[in-house]
Structure 1
Amino acid sequence: MIKIPLLILLIFLLSCKSERKLEQGQAQIERQVQVPNFNADSAFWFLEKQVSFGPRVPNSKSHEECKNFLYSEISKYADAVQLQEFTHSYLGKNFKLTNIIASFNLKSGFRVLLCAHWDSRPYADEEKETSKRIQPVPGANDGASGVAVLLEIARILKNDPPPIGVDIIFFDGEDLGISGDLENFCIGSKYFAKNKQANYLPQFGILLDMVGDKDLQIFKEENSMKYAPDVVNYVWSIARELGIDEFKDQIKHNVYDDHIPLNEVGIRTINIIDFDYPYWHTVEDTPDKCSPQSLEKVGRVVLNLIYRYKPEIAEK
Structure 2
Amino acid sequence: MNRPPLLASALLALASLSAPAADGADQNPIDADRAFGYLEQLCDLGPRPSGSDAMARQQDLLRGHFGPLADDVVSQGFLAANPLGGPKVRITNLIVRFNPAAEKRLMVCAHYDTRPLPDRDPNPRARRSGRFIGANDGASGTALLMELAHHHDAFAGPLGVDLVLFDGEELVYNDRRDPYFLGSTGFAQQYKQGKHPGGEYQYAVLLDMVGDADLQLYYEVNSWRWKDTRPLVRSLWETAARLGVDEFKPRLKHLVRDDHTKLHSIGKIPACDIIDFDYPHWHTEADVPRNCSGESLAKVGWVVLEWLRLEQAKAAEPAGE
State the number of aligned residues.
287
Match for 2:161 among 151, 160, 166? 166
Among residues 312, 315, 319, which one is paired with 1:311 in the alignment? 315
Give the superposition deviation at 1:294. Answer: 0.1
Identify the match of residue 96 of structure 2 among 94, 102, 110. Answer: 102
For the structure 1 residues 41 and 177, does the alpha-carbon distance in structure 2 shift closer, same or farther, using more than 3 Å as the test? same
Question: Do structure 1's residue 231 and structure 2's residue 232 form an aligned pair?
Answer: yes
Find 1:151's aligned residue among 141, 146, 151: 146
**CA–CA distance in structure 1, aligned partners of residues 210 and 177 of structure 2:** 22
- Matched residues in 1 for 2:248 and 2:163: separation? 22
Separation of aligned partners in 2, 1:194 and 1:77: 28
Change (3 A) 1:84 1:314: farther
User: Which AA in structure 2 matches 1:51?
Assistant: C
Q: Which amino acid aligns with 2:246?
A: D
CA contact (8 A) 2:28 2:298 kept: no
The CA distance in 2 between the partners of 1:71 and 1:62, in whole Å, is: 14
The 2-side partners of 1:181 and 1:171 are apart by 22
> Which residue identity is paired with 2:268?
G
Contact 2:154/2:308, CA 8 A, preserved across alignment:
no
Aligned to 2:116: 122
TM-superposed CA distance for 1:180, in Å, is 3.2
Label 1:314 to 1:291 Cα distance change in 2 as closer, same or farther (>3 A).
farther
Q: Report the Cα offset of residue 106 of structure 1.
A: 2.3
- The equivalent of 1:76 in structure 2 is 68
Inter-CA distance 161–217: structure 2 relative to 1 (3 Å threshold): closer
Closer/same/farther in 2, CA of residues 225 and 65 from structure 1, 3 Å limit: same
2:148 counterpart SS class: helix
TM-score (norm 1): 0.85
Task: After superposing the two structures, state which structure 1 stretch, 59-68 or 115-124, moved more.
Answer: 59-68
**Partners of 1:75 and 1:182 in 2: CA distance:** 37
Give 1:274's match in structure 2, choosing from 272, 276, 293.
276
1:44-81 Cα shifts (integer Å, max 9, x gaps): 11111110100101222211111110111111111011
DSSP-derived class of the 2:301 partner: helix
Does structure 1 conserve the Cα–Cα contact (< 8 Å) formed by 2:39 and 2:139?
A: yes
What amino acid does structure 2 have at the position aligned with 1:189? S
Write the mapping of 1:1-316 to structure 2, written as runs, cut at 5 A: 30-32=14-16, 37-91=29-83, 92-93=85-86, 94-134=88-128, 135-157=130-152, 162-163=156-157, 164-181=159-176, 184-196=179-191, 197-198=193-194, 200-227=199-226, 228-264=229-265, 265-309=267-311, 310-312=314-316
Deviation string, structure 1 residues 20-42 (Cα, Å, up to 9, x no partner) = xxxxxxxxx82326998111111
Tell me the CA shift for residue 183 of structure 1. Answer: 5.9
How far did 1:207 drift?
Answer: 0.1
Q: Which amino acid aligns with 2:33?
A: D
SS in 1 for 2:107: strand
In the TM superposition, what is the alpha-carbon distance from 1:313 to its structure 2 partner?
6.2
Contact 1:178 1:184 in 2 (8 A): no
TM-fit CA distance, 1:108: 2.8
Distance 1:212 1:56 in 2: 18
Aligned residue in 2 for 1:23: none
Which amino acid in structure 1 is aligned with residue 77 of structure 2?
A: E
Q: Distance in 1 between matches of 2:121 and 2:82?
A: 23
> Contact 1:121–1:136 at 8 Å: present in 2 too?
no
Unmatched segments (≥5 aa) in structure 1: 1-28
Q: Distance in 2 between matches of 1:208 and 1:286?
A: 18
CA distance in 2, matches of 1:160, 1:274: 25
Q: Structure 1 residues 211 and 36 mapped into 2: Cα distance closer, same or farther (>3 Å)?
A: closer
CA contact (8 A) 2:154 2:309 kept: no
Instruction: Write the distance in 2 (CA, Å) between the matches of 1:52 and 1:45.
Output: 10
- Whether the 8 Å CA contact 2:155–2:161 is kept in 1: the answer is no
Matched to 2:15, the amino acid is R
CA distance in 2 between partners of 1:299 and 1:160 (Å) = 11
Q: In structure 1, what residue type is equivalent to 2:183?
A: G
Whole-Å separation in 2 of the counterparts to 1:208 and 1:151: 12
| TM-score, with length taken from structure 2 | 0.84
Distance in 2, Cα, partners of 1:170 & 1:161: 18
Shift of 1:200: 4.1
